[in-house]
């Protein structure tokens, strides 16, 4: 399949244990409730790509929490997403917008997985609102195993001198390997400088998280130092937004893993399958995110060539899911 190597095929096979089986007894939301936090006046594409990829890779409910002025454009991209423009930047706040943290928490406490950062921007008020959310999210409602994915401006919060102390403290409140960070090469360097460490392993250990260090080869390392490398080729077109597709797919896989591991739904391997540990499911979720993103990029490049945009790639994400996990007969 797609020129994948045998060890990659083995991991894809194992990941079937993370994917819930569809049955007539399921109700809405059991196969994942995701909230993407990002989107501001300048960037409306990034959170959309993440949320859209999460939807078409199979999550049941995908919410998008964004800046007030980003809400309408993003709603216009898709009626499938539930867009909540409850965040306010410095401009909105001086033009009649009143920030209400309770509206935010009532949304977030329903969600199994949060993606924080795509297209968030660097406005001071937005960063403060999101930092508070990252701090409170692990203790909201009854769910204390909520997962968090940090990317883009969410990673800026981690590497910036002004916010890093609070962010590092906040990440400690999440369970082991419940936080995933997805830095590109430049973001990784900034994080390593701020944390004063010299390897991906030390980043993961210090934060108690999984790091997906993106590049030609994606390097995935968990908090115990387990290291996987994904050298599947993908495509050579480097348009902006491919990292957003990645966070959306990882979010869906973490939501699936929670459905099977935390909420005990049957997986594609059936009820008798020996369950995997959370550590293994979380690593597999990141590996599938990386593989499916590269597969979508390759498939889109084969279709449209060098004009490839993230919209082309995102359009392949559902097809990639079907190739990885062919549908059971209905
Ligand atoms: N359509 C959209 O709305 C998009 C919005 N985006 C958002 O744009 C905002 C700023 O993101 P930036 O990524 O520009 O962040 P930064 O302003 O931190 O810039 C990072 C810089 O690093 C460079 N870089 C990345 N990988 C590199 C590598 N391997 N070697 C050398 N240089 C490398 C990039 O070209 C970029 O200039 C974020 O909020 C992000 O989510 C991006 O996600 C792209 C798509
Ligand atoms: N040289 C490369 N060859 C193949 N795939 C790559 C290469 N560099 C990055 N990728 C893939 O592209 C995806 C996004 O990585 P990238 O480094 O572009 O992130 P990013 O800069 O954060 O993206 P974004 O534009 O969304 O902010 C990852 O899945 C990664 O595997």
DSSP string, 258-312: HHHHTT---BTT-TTSPPPPHHHHHHHHHHHHHHHHHHHHHHHHHHHGGG--HHH
- Structural domain harbouring 295: 6-19+27-324
Q: What pLDDT is attached to residue 274?
A: 82
> What is residue 76's three-state secondary structure?
helix
Whether ligand 1 lies within 6 angstroms of the CB of 254 is answered as no
Ligand 2 centroid – CA 208 distance (Å): 23
ipTM over 0.90: yes
Residue 329 belongs to a domain = no
Q: What pLDDT is attached to residue 270?
A: 77
Q: What pLDDT is attached to residue 330?
A: 61
Look up residue 185 and give its DSSP letter. Answer: H
> What is residue 95's three-state secondary structure?
coil
Residue 279 belongs to a domain = yes
| Number of separate domains in the chain | 1
> What is residue 254's three-state secondary structure?
helix
Q: What pLDDT is attached to residue 140?
A: 96
Residue 251 belongs to a domain = yes
Ligand 1 centroid – CA 226 distance (Å): 28
Whether ligand 2 lies within 6 angstroms of the CB of 45 is answered as no
Residue 237 belongs to a domain = yes
Q: How far apart are CA 124 and CA 75, in angstroms?
A: 25
Residue 1 belongs to a domain = no
Ligand nearest to the CA of 216: 2
Residue 259 belongs to a domain = yes
> Which residue's entry shows tokens 């409306």?
44
**CATH number of the domain that residue 308 is part of:** 3.40.1190.20
Residue 135 belongs to a domain = yes
Q: CA 175, 177, 178, 181 torsion: positive or negative?
A: positive
Ligand 2 centroid – CA 243 distance (Å): 6
Q: How far apart are CA 65 and CA 104, in angstroms?
A: 8
Residue nearest atom 3 of ligand 2, based on CA coordinates: 216
Q: What pLDDT is attached to residue 173?
A: 97
- Report mean pLDDT in 10-residue bins for the chain, 330 residues: 86 96 96 98 98 98 98 96 97 96 97 98 98 97 96 98 98 97 98 98 98 98 97 95 98 98 93 86 98 97 97 98 86
Residue 330 belongs to a domain = no
């Amino acid at each position: 399949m797609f020129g994948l190597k045998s060890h990659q095929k083995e991991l894809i096979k194992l990941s079937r244990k993370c994917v819930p089986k569809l049955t007539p007894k399921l109700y809405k939301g059991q196969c994942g409730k995701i909230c993407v936090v990002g989107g501001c006046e300048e960037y409306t594409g990034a959170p959309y790509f993440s949320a859209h990829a999460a939807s078409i890779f199979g999550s049941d409910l995908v919410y998008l929490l964004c800046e007030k002025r980003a809400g309408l454009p993003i709603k216009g991209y898709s009626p499938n997403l539930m867009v909540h423009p409850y965040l306010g930047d410095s401009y909105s706040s001086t033009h009649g917008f009143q920030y209400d943290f309770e509206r935010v928490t009532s949304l977030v406490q329903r969600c199994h997985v949060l993606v924080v950062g795509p297209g968030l921007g660097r406005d001071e008020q937005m960063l403060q609102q999101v930092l508070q959310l990252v701090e409170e999210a692990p203790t909201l409602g009854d769910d204390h195993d909520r997962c968090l994915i940090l990317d883009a401006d969410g990673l800026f919060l981690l590497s910036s001198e002004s916010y890093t102390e609070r962010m590092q403290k906040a990440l400690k409140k999440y369970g082991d390997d419940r936080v995933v960070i997805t830095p590109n090469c430049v973001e990784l360097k900034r994080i390593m400088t701020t944390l004063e460490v010299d390897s991906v392993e030390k980043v993961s250990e210090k934060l108690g998280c999984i790091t997906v260090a993106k590049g030609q080869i994606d390097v995935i390392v968990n908090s115990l130092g387990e290291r996987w490398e994904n050298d599947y080729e993908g495509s050579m077109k480097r348009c902006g937004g491919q990292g957003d597709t990645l966070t959306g797919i990882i979010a869906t896989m973490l939501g699936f893993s929670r459905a099977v591991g935390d909420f005990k739904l049957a997986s594609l391997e059936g009820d008798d399958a020996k369950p995997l540990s959370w550590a293994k499911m979380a690593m597999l979720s990141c590996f599938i995110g990386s593989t499916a993103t590269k597969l979508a990029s390759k498939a889109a490049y084969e279709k449209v060539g060098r004009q490839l945009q993230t919209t082309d790639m995102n359009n392949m994400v559902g097809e990639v899911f079907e190739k990885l996990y062919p549908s059971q007969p209905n």
